Structure formats: structure tokens, C-alpha cells
Structure 1
Amino acid sequence: MEFLQQYISEALTAVIGGFFGWFFTRKKQQEELRASELDNVDKAVRIYREMIEDLSGQLKTAITELDEAKATIKELEQKVEALTVELTKYKQLNGKCERKKQDHEKEQAND
């Protein structure tokens, strides 16, 4: 029985010591957990900020390229319009030449 009492008192002392250790360190552990959570949130915010800055740069580049493409398209449209006008004039001139040639051939045939 004495043998058992010695172990019971040691076990009781260990349980009481464990309880007091847990009781007094739990606030510290909770504060460390909160600090860790805040650190993780800070890291996540930093990552999102970097992503936003990167996307902002890409957006600016895309807008610049789009503006350049619009200018090129406008320039090409003007060239196409000028060529269309020139082609129309050429067709009209070619048509007149063809008619003159046909009229000349008819006159020679009549003579």
C-alpha cells in the first residue's frame, strides 16, 4: 500500500503541476497563435499587393499596345480608302480608254 501511495502522490503532483502549467501558459500560446495568424495575414496581403501591381503593369502595357493597334488600324483603313478611290479612278479611266478604242475600231470598220 505504501508503494502505491508513493506513486499516487507523484501522479497527483504531476497532474496538478500539468494543470498549473497549462493554465498559466495558455494565454501565452493564444497570443503566439494570434501573432502567427496576423503574420500569415500580412504575408497574404503582401502577396496580393504584388499580384495587383504586376497585373496593373500588364494592364498598362496591354492598353498601350491596344492604342498602338488602333492607330495602325486607322492608318490602314485610310490607305485602303485611298487605294479604293484610286482603283475606282483607274477603272473609270480604263473604261473610257476601252470605249475610245472600241469607237475608233468602229470608225475604222465603217470607213
Structure 2
Amino acid sequence: MTAFTRAHCRCVVVQNYGYDQAAQKLKIKSDWLRANIGKLPHQKFGHNQAVFCDCDLRLVQAMHTVLPSEALAVIDRPAPEEGPAPAQPAVPAYAALRPAQGRRRQPAGI
């Protein structure tokens, strides 16, 4: 078994689910999870049964998402142009900025 990092996991508070709970969240049969566990992201601690966090379940769902070609065409289509972008106010470059001129001193006694 190869060890991997859990770079996909973004859980702030990890809540692990057993087969039955994970299957309920995915709305599938737990037998399917048990039969396909070798192909699914999960966590395994020693001789305990496999557990899944929410990030694992999102990956399982993404792995088994089917998109018809019509849906892919909509996703891949570039967004329509909204027109020209609004003009940005002219801001001088940082290198072009100069310090303000100091005030001239008034002669004393005026």
C-alpha cells in the first residue's frame, strides 16, 4: 500500500464517517462502498474499518460524476463579452512619484 498526503483535504474540523454514514451522505448502498474501497479515497487506521471525511466523499462524488457532451459544451463555452471594460483612472507609476515640495520658511518677526 502506498502512502499519500491528504493534500485534497480542506476539513477544518475532521468528521470521519463509517461505511453506513458515508453511504447515507452519498445516497448509495454501503455494500457498493465496501466492494469498491480499493478504488476510493479513504482513511485506514490499523485493523479498523475504512473511514471517510467530507473531502473524501467530495472526491468520490467527483470521480463518479458523468457530464454529457451537451453539458461539457456549456461549461467550455467562453462567457459572452460584456462590452469594453470601464476606464481605469490614471494612476502614476510608483517610480514617477516625487515628494511634495516643502513650505518656504517665513522670516521671523513678520
Give the TM-score of the pair, scaled to structure 2: 0.20
The structure number with the bigger radius of gyration is 1
> Larger relative CO (CA 8 A, sep 6+): 1 or 2?
2
Higher helix share: 1
